[in-house]
């Protein structure tokens, strides 16, 4: 049976696929037949705890600190081809650390600079496969963000880069799209989910009255990478239960 969302025989790299949203996206591609490899920050897959939203079963794994451009250059792919590149890496610095240089530099390096470095690195493989890139930004890139100037600016930059790469690479057959999550329960959002008062406030502000799940995000990623989205490029799909409305 033909299916537009069957990825059998396809290769997928999910940067930031070791936990949370990226891990959910990685498994969604794996369940649809793809060979999936992920990058994360820990030395070994055994260092990941399922309680943190990490399930590395059935996935290949490499440790790459994408905040270091040299580490990106040195990293290699376990497959000769690449059909889908998902850029889901992300970090945040709390307690106003992003107002200081080390915090600003680190968040911009991981959340924005690495998107360009990794996309450029794998462009030859994406050209060969007429593949696609999916950039995970955030609705934080659409507005001001209390206490996190680098996070918000990096995500606005990610949305902008998605447009410009989408435009630049479309003539060569590569589609570049993104998704902007709202509030998703991951280790990145514990500062909210582990604070009952904040959590109640957050839920009240989400029209669908629930947090998003990695599976909700994966649905959008599968669509964007599939032939169902063959004429969509440079677009960032908001997946937030209405939060940004």
Query: Which residues are catalytic, by number?
Result: 151
The span of 15-23, 93-101, 170-178, 223-231 binding ligand NAP (CB under 6 A) equals 15-23
- Give start and end residues of each alpha helix (H) in the chain: 20-31, 69-74, 101-108, 114-121, 123-129, 149-169, 190-193, 196-204, 214-225
Which window, 13-21, 25-33, 73-81, 125-133, contacts ligand NAP (CB under 6 A)? 13-21
85: β partners: 13, 133
For residue 242, what are its two tokens? 């209405």
Residue 130 Cβ vs ligand NAP, minimum distance, rounded to whole Å: 26
Start-to-end CA distance of the chain, whole Å, equals 39
**Residue among 59 and 88 whose Cβ is closer to ligand NAP:** 88
> How far, rounded to the nearest angstrom, does the alpha carbon of residue 191 sit from its chain's CA centroid?
20
Q: In what order do the strands lie in the sheet with 132-136?
A: 60-63, 35-40, 11-15, 84-87, 132-136, 175-181, 236-239
Q: How many residues bind ligand NAP (CB under 6 A)?
A: 29
Out of 118, 133, 188, 238, the residue judged to bind ligand NAP by CB under 6 A:
188
Q: Examine residue 177 and tell whether it contacts ligand NAP (CB under 6 A).
A: no
**What is the C-alpha separation between 56 and 48, in angstroms, rounded?**
8
Contact between 16 and 41 under an 8 Å Cβ cutoff? The reply is no
Query: How, if at all, do strands 132-136 and 84-87 pair?
Result: parallel
> For ligand NAP, which residue of 120, 187, 198, 209 counts as binding (CB under 6 A)?
187
Binding segment toward ligand NAP, per CB under 6 A, in 26-34, 35-43, 74-82, 115-123: 35-43
Tell me: does residue 125 bind ligand NAP (CB under 6 A): no
Q: 48 or 169: whose CB is closer to ligand NAP?
A: 48
Nearest C-alpha neighbor of 91 from the set 74, 101, 73, 103: 103
25 is an interface residue for ligand NAP by CB under 6 A: no
Per rule CB under 6 A, is residue 89 in the interface with ligand NAP?
yes
Radius of gyration (C-alpha) of the chain in whole angstroms: 17
Contact call for residue 19 and ligand NAP (CB under 6 A): yes
Candidates 5, 33, 55, 65: give the one binding ligand NAP (CB under 6 A).
65
What is the DSSP-derived secondary structure letter of residue 206?
S
Q: Smallest distance from the beta carbon of 8 to ligand NAP, in angstroms?
A: 25
Residue 188 or 229 having the CB closest to ligand NAP = 188
Which residues are at the interface with ligand NAP (CB under 6 A)?
Answer: 16, 18-22, 39-42, 53, 64-67, 88-91, 110, 136, 138, 181, 183-184, 186-189
């Amino acid at each position: 049976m033909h299916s537009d969302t069957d990825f059998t025989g396809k290769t997928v790299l999910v940067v930031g696929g070791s936990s949370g949203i990226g891990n959910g996206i990685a498994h969604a591609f794996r369940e649809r037949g793809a060979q999936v490899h992920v990058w994360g920050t820990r030395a070994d897959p055994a260092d990941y705890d399922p309680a943190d939203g990490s399930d590395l079963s059935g996935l290949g794994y490499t440790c790459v600190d994408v905040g270091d451009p040299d580490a990106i250059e040195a990293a290699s792919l376990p497959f000769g081809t690449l059909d889908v590149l998902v850029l889901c890496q992300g970090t945040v610095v709390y307690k106003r650390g992003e107002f200081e240089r080390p915090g600003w530099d680190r968040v911009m390096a991981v959340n924005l600079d690495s998107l360009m470095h990794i996309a450029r690195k794998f462009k030859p493989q994406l050209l060969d496969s007429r593949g696609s890139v999916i950039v995970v930004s955030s609705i934080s890139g659409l507005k001001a963000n209390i206490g996190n100037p680098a996070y918000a600016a990096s995500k606005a930059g990610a949305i902008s880069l998605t447009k410009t790469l989408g435009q630049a690479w479309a003539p060569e057959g590569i589609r570049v799209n993104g998704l902007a999550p709202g509030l998703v329960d991951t280790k990145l959002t514990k500062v909210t989910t582990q604070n009952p008062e904040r959590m109640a406030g957050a839920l009240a502000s989400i029209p669908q009255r629930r947090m998003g799940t990695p599976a909700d995000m994966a649905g959008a990623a599968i669509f964007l990478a599939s032939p169902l989205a063959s004429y969509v490029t440079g677009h960032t799909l908001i997946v937030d239960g209405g939060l940004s409305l």
